Structure 1
Amino acid sequence: MHAWPASEVPALPGKGRDLRIHDTATGGRITLDPGPVARIYVCGITPYDATHMGHAATYNAFDLVQRVWLDTKRQVHYVQNVTDVDDPLLERAVRDGQDWTELAERETALFREDMTALRMLPPKHYIGAVEAIPGIVPLVERLRDAGAAYELDGDVYFSVETDPHFGGVSNLDTEAMRLLSAERGGDPERPGKKNPLDPMLWMAAREGEPSWDGASLGPGRPGWHIECVAIALDHLGMGFDVQGGGSDLAFPHHEMGASHAQVLTGEYPFAQAYVHAGMVALDGEKMSKSKGNLVFVSKLRHDGVDPAAIRLALLSHHYRSDWEWTDQVLADAVERLGRWRAAVSRPDGLPAEALVEEVREALADDLDAPAALAAVDRWAERQNTGGGTDEGAPGLVSRTVDALLGVAL
């Protein structure tokens, strides 16, 4: 599966700072110190309704991670999946009378268009669950053969008790895990499971649903968590720098995935940091496909909203915060974009070297994009009221905003 085209990232003078970021597993801030190649895995969409503002906010956060790393003169090895076969996708296809593969292809294509418009840097590897199945089956077989998985009416489940580190990503108690498991795709009430929290690794073929050759597992399709593990281990290996996604993925998805990988390899940890973006609400409730309260990037674009303004609206909120999308949020972003463009359109301006360092410091401090925006606001206000004589300043500001914030002025 192919990703989307990359926008050019301007080179800035000097060098950026190492990223200090909040790690869900430890509950505190850690300084990431990747080698020459920083490694990041971000969980992708289930393509039946893309791309709403919650998606955009999540991928914007991890785009900033990439940009901070690139500014430190590192390379970035970024991997993202597409869960192009799963119950919600199949259910939506049945509801709408569509072929599930056509639905997945259409929504994935729309997602690519939105990511391109928002200037999100693409992953090096963009892998669908279906194309990953040949690599998933052997992992499930290894877990079963090692006694870390068991069969139940033809399905194969992972035994969470085989990982001594289970629970160390989300740090939730058992009852909270059980409630979230039921809410987020698990089946804790199914009779016959060794532990209610045990997640499915391989679903035996169901009548009327797609299935694939599972070798000794029999026909079926993979569970959600093992999909990402197979892709991440194949392309990044153990101990990569950041596992990312929305905060609703901390449990069960990232918790289960870490346990799968740690039992498979005997190594710990799966990722050095687990980083989670906050949720975006509309009309007082979290945006979600199940509720249908979605604001779509494509709809805003088709209504003539500049993608740079959409991106500024996302950047105006700290990536870990929960916030609400409103017309005013977008209006403020449109107004800010206009002020910034007016400021950099002058032939000369106020010196901007200090601004570059302010933006760098803000983003290195747990991706504090609102502080970075405020720094540019201050420069733009002084520029628009008085200006200066530095002919290179407007261009430097424009390149800084592009390189570090992904906004084209």
Structure 2
Amino acid sequence: MNTKASTYDESVILSQDEISEYLETFGDKEVYLREAVLLLPLDTVYRLLDINIRSLWEAIRDMHGGLPTSKTAMKYLSNPSANVSIKAQQKLLRLIPLPRQSTELSMAQMEKGFSVPTVTNWLGLLELSRLDPVALDYWKDKLHKLSDLSGQVIRSLPNKRDRFLAYTSSEVVGLLGCPASRQGMHDLLFDLCEEELVSSKALAHMMSADSWSTLLRLAAWFMASAQVANWEFEVSEGTQNVTHGAWAIPRWCSLTQSWSNPMQIALEKLASLAGLEKKRLGPVTYLGKLWAANDGLEPESRIRLLRNWMQLKGGRPSFHMLLDLIRVSCDLHVKQKGGLPFDAKVDYWYGACVFRFAETMAILIRDLQRSGCPSELLTSLMSVYEAEYLVARRMLGKPIEN
């Protein structure tokens, strides 16, 4: 038996015998590698969220015994697959958990003569993250459609204009992409010649907005699933009808002609949770003093650090520091309330993830503006999170009540 699988749900991952069957399907079959439409590669998302792959691997290894060390894994994962021998790749595949449904999709792709690793990687991530079964089924259907669109449908068309048209007319792109991209892309396809389409900055902005839209919709499902999973705590806090993370989505202010800063809002919310009252210290000063006092430090350094975070200066905060700040603030909140109801618990890790989400959104809106992305396209993009959250909560059986 594969010992590393013992801490996973056996229905989710392949046994060693099944892995052998999977490896045998490779043979000498010619398979074309295809890029996925809509979906950003996982390593791009990890960089966006400032996740260190080596640290992530070790954290997973601590929870699930039997995985190879990060040093061994990075030897394979840090090199292009073309530079790693088939034998070495097969050796690694026998050491790591292979999600069942993503492997089945991979095999189905190869039977059709193509492979779209980004799609199968995302499905595997959703399987191993223990996402709610309803959420997993919802996204599995979308990922299968993206697999066919990326690997087969678009590639079967003779020219770029037809491929762009098939892309923007696809049902799954309409469901997951940015709403403002659809009409705009249709207009461009009929206004520009094929050479102009390839070099069109406006078209590139729309396709980029589609990819970010898909990622925001995924985030909405993860947030909604986490909220439903911690339902007793949500009810005890009176937040069961709150759209978690909505405040972290940048909003356009027509009066100031600027976007809101999610990091500023994050610090304001955390300070309020930790007991900050109006007309006293500002949130940065309040949290800086609170955090420093807990660690026995001088407050100036913590205040300066938090100010830099808010202004996106001086490097990104480590997840460890975010977690520590969340823990200090939430513990004070619980103490002020006189404790928690029976069976309710505070999920510090989730809180830190939401904080990282806010910081990432602040960086994203800054960078998209710098790239010249039009405000109307950005406004449409940022609207998808709350809309998708409502869909997720309804399908998870806990619709938001107004």
Q: State the TM bucket, normalised to the shorter chain.
A: under 0.3
> Between Structure 1 and Structure 2, which shows a larger proportion of strand residues?
1
TM normalised by structure 2 equals 0.27
TM normalised by structure 1 equals 0.26
Q: Which has the higher contact order (CA 8 A, sep 6+)?
A: 1
> Between Structure 1 and Structure 2, which shows a larger proportion of helix residues?
2
